[in-house]
Amino acid sequence: MGVSFDKIDGVIWYDGKLVPWADANVHVLTHGLHYGSSVFEGERAYGGEIFKCTEHSERLKKSAELLDFEIPYSVAEIDAAKKLVIEKNNLPDSYVRAIAWRGSEMMGVSAQSNTIHLAIACWSWPSYFSPAERLKGIRIGLADYRRPDPKTIPAMAKAAGLYMICTISKHKAERDGFADALMLDWQGRVAECTGANIFFIKDGKIHTPIADCFLAGITRATVIDLAKRRGIEVIERRIMPEEMDGFTECFVTGTAAEVTPVSQIANWKFTPGTISEQLMNDYTSEVQPKGKQAAA
């Protein structure tokens, strides 16, 4: 195990100013801790530039609105704060985490008068999976929990509470020897992994679930665009688990996972191939700052 996250040396942007890492604390009676009233973003900086920075800030604001609170900073101010954090921590290649939450003024289900806080941190965090692991394909189990009906929860928010079943599912998968878990939706259709969207390949075409009960990731949208630039057809549709017998390749996408091929889901097997590898390489090129892209 590495250094505990509360022991990292650096600074965190907290409610409008930079504070020492160890001082970026909240009270134990914070509403966000007790009732899950917090939203966050996971982003990556490459060569000093945060990929899709503004899109992440916009989604953070939208997630907060879905949880019935307003972040008291504009998208431009959030963008500037994120850039300041990676600069002051001297981490041009890093993972960036912005989080907003309800404070401690009211402790109960209703918290309309609570202060809304925002903090932004960054740290060194490579891809979820090592390069060697990515190229050979990761193994994924099946989760017991399902993504909930969007009529029961704000599924389009990147909200902390929505990840509770993801943590449980990933822990079980890891105990069973898998790298992650595939979650079905409330109707038993293929949805996503615990922190990544999923894609399948058959006859040169890409198939991916419709993102209407889980987050349509920014990395997901980027990879769909990259595939279309290559002339590869992308079909967004309902996918039943038994259809996985007919797919030849599979990969997952996410800010942390980037593009990672899959070799197995439960008893279904896949062979990482040319399309998965091409999109993995295309994504690596896409996220590099424009100057470095030109020099490559």
- Residues assigned a catalytic role: 158
Hey, is 115 helix, strand or coil?
A: coil
* CA 79 to chain CA centroid, nearest Å: 18
- In this structure, are residues 250 and 280 in contact, taking their beta carbons and an 8 Å threshold? no
Tokens describing residue 249 = 């390749």
The continuous run of DSSP H or E covering 294 comes out as: helix 290-295
From 159, 32, 158, 17, select the one nearest 77 (Cα to Cα).
17
Whole-angstrom distance, CA of residue 165 vs CA of residue 49: 32
Query: Packing angle between helix 218-229 and helix 274-286, nearest 10 degrees?
Result: 110
